[in-house]
Structure 1
């Protein structure tokens, strides 16, 4: 789905993803839905805050497999890259207002990374394993 690169678009991404998970039979109050919703919220917020090009939308794609839920958020700033997985900075101080989001992704996603599919965009992706597929 394409969403406006605004705070409202980021909130809508999370709500639409939770609804899709519910439609797929993944309980809203379960671990998988909670983790996916948090990852989408972070990726969408980053797309709006750091990946925004005026007048261009960001995209969210959700894929369900028997093993996991895959989240992809594509924005229009391939020049603004997040830290690599496993290299997310330490937790910021209590007075800092940002810098915790990718730590949350590290904690909740079983795998995540970034890829560039074309010169105009970048895609952050994450996979959250479904309960029957955890170690």
Structure 2
């Protein structure tokens, strides 16, 4: 390990403790994968190394929220929006879609279901999560906040 590599269980504190990333993606499985990948790259650029647990957790939360936007929030011809915001202690993830009906709920799936566990994962991994109606048009924003582990 050299001086530029953080230990896998720690998050490097960036020289600039804040950051923001936002982008629109097509409401397709390919768009959801790209959102997760670009979020991972941005997290690494912010000092949350690919090898650390926080990176894995955050990219899983992004993947679940993006997949839900594609599966449950898709309106043909409309994209979903991903926003990441980081301060010294927290990363906030917001995914906005354009479908107004349906309230995001962390429902308990039956053992026979292969799907339906995404928001349960988010609920377990994030410090807090919720949703609100979209402010600038039809749709909703689902958000989650993850508190970064201390690096010391």
Task: Please say whether Structure 1 and Structure 2 have the same fold, judged by a TM-score greater than 0.5.
Answer: yes
Q: Structure 2: 5+ residue runs without aligned partners?
A: 1-22
Q: How does 1:103-118 map onto structure 2 within 5 Å?
A: 103-118=120-135
Q: Report Cα offsets for 1:79-131 as digits up to 9, x if no partner.
A: 12111xxxx222430x3111111111011101100011335020000011010
Q: Distance in 2 between matches of 1:75 and 1:103?
A: 19
Normalising by structure 2, we get a TM-score of 0.80
Contact 2:109 2:115 in 1 (8 A): no
Q: Who is 2:92 aligned against?
A: 70
Q: Report Cα offsets for 1:11-53 as digits up to 9, x if no partner.
A: 0010000000011111112121111111110110010010000
Q: Distance in 1 between matches of 2:129 and 2:84?
A: 14
Q: Rg bigger for which structure? A: 2
More helix as a share of residues: 1
Q: How many residues align?
A: 128
Q: How does 1:1-135 map onto structure 2 within 5 Å?
A: 1-83=23-105, 88-93=106-111, 95-118=112-135, 119-132=137-150
**RMSD, aligned CA:** 1.4
Runs (4+) of structure 1 moved beyond 6 Å? none
